[in-house]
Amino acid sequence: MGQQALCYDGTWKGLLSLIFDVYAYKYSISAIVTENNAIQSLLFTSALIHVVTEDIKSARVTKGIITSVGKKGYLELYHVFLSEKEGRELLILRTVQYYLGVKEQASKNYAHADVLEVKKIVKSVSRERHRMKAFIRFQLLKDGVYFAIAEPDFNVLPLISKHFKDRYADQKWIIYDVKRKYGLFYDGGEVQEIEFGTENRLDQKSISLAGHESEILYSTLWNQYFKSVNIRERKNLKLHIQHVPKRYWKYLNEKIEMGG
């Protein structure tokens, strides 16, 4: 049997189900594509095998990875998946095959090229996760829901969900990723993923216009306070940008020119 190109639904469980099938059917993989880009992929391969996502399959692969390299090793692979980097599926597959084949201290072998690449990606994704925790700014809307817009480099919303649920357990809130067009909604009990229709305009200005009167007043006062304590003579823009990269400024209240 030659090499196969596999197609999955683009979810984490879908990829784990794919890995299960690789072992079950002894596939030799040439490519892994998602259903969204399968049409383009057909230009390069005549045979595309579609993988069905199944909880039983994904659970067995999850158990196998955790048994081999622990929960930390498993979560590192999940970070790689959320990185959205091109070729991440093949990297994860190769790494899982290595982990399950070696079993002892495999996830700590930095001399292995795939393991090293995993560690590098995890570091980048973890950095973005920490920044989102620090730079998310909620605004109180007229319906009583706190709303925040985010545009992270990686798909880190699943990694910050618990942090904000624990921190704002007594408030209803939404964190919306405008880049990936989905968000997290906490209703006071559980967090669930949501999507808005394409007719809804979502940007910082439109959210500010929908703000509660008390929130608008607070935002104005906070913006004025930030300007008053920002001593121009002591300003170190280079250091400031290192801690607060410019790409986050448009979502930070203290960086928004009020009334503009």
* pLDDT tens string 58-88: 999 999 999 999 999 999 999 999 999 999 9
What per-residue string of b and e applies to 173-190 under the rule 16 or more CB within 10 Å gives b? bbbbbeeeeebbbbeeee
For residue 200, name the pLDDT band (cuts at 50, 70, 90).
low
Residue that wins the pLDDT comparison between 172 and 260: 172
Q: Report the candidate in 154, 151, 115 with the shortest Cα–Cα distance to residue 135.
A: 151
pLDDT at residue 197 in the model = 63
Whether residue 48 has pLDDT greater than 90: no
Other Cβ atoms closer than 10 A to 208: 16
Q: Any bridge partners for residue 193, and if so which?
A: 184
pLDDT at residue 64 in the model = 96
pLDDT tens for each residue of 177-198: 989 999 999 999 999 998 876 5
pLDDT at residue 236 in the model = 47
What stretches of the chain adopt beta strand conformation (E)?
A: 4-8, 29-34, 48-50, 139-140, 146-150, 173-177, 182-186, 191-194
Average pLDDT for 109-123: 97
Residue that wins the pLDDT comparison between 24 and 260: 24
Residue that wins the pLDDT comparison between 39 and 229: 39
pLDDT at residue 16 in the model = 98
Amino acid at 132: M
Q: What percent of the chain clears pLDDT 70, i.e. is strictly above it? A: 71
Q: Report, in angstroms and rounded to the nearest whole number, the Rg of the chain calculated over CA atoms.
A: 22
Residue 136, token pair as written in the block? 């998310």
Residue that wins the pLDDT comparison between 143 and 42: 143
pLDDT at residue 227 in the model = 52
For residue 253, name the pLDDT band (cuts at 50, 70, 90).
low
pLDDT at residue 199 in the model = 52
pLDDT tens for each residue of 80-105: 999 999 999 999 999 999 999 986 78
For residue 140, name the pLDDT band (cuts at 50, 70, 90).
confident
Average pLDDT for 104-126: 95
For residue 258, name the pLDDT band (cuts at 50, 70, 90).
very low
For residue 254, name the pLDDT band (cuts at 50, 70, 90).
very low
pLDDT tens for each residue of 203-247: 545 444 444 444 444 444 445 434 544 545 455 445 434 445 565
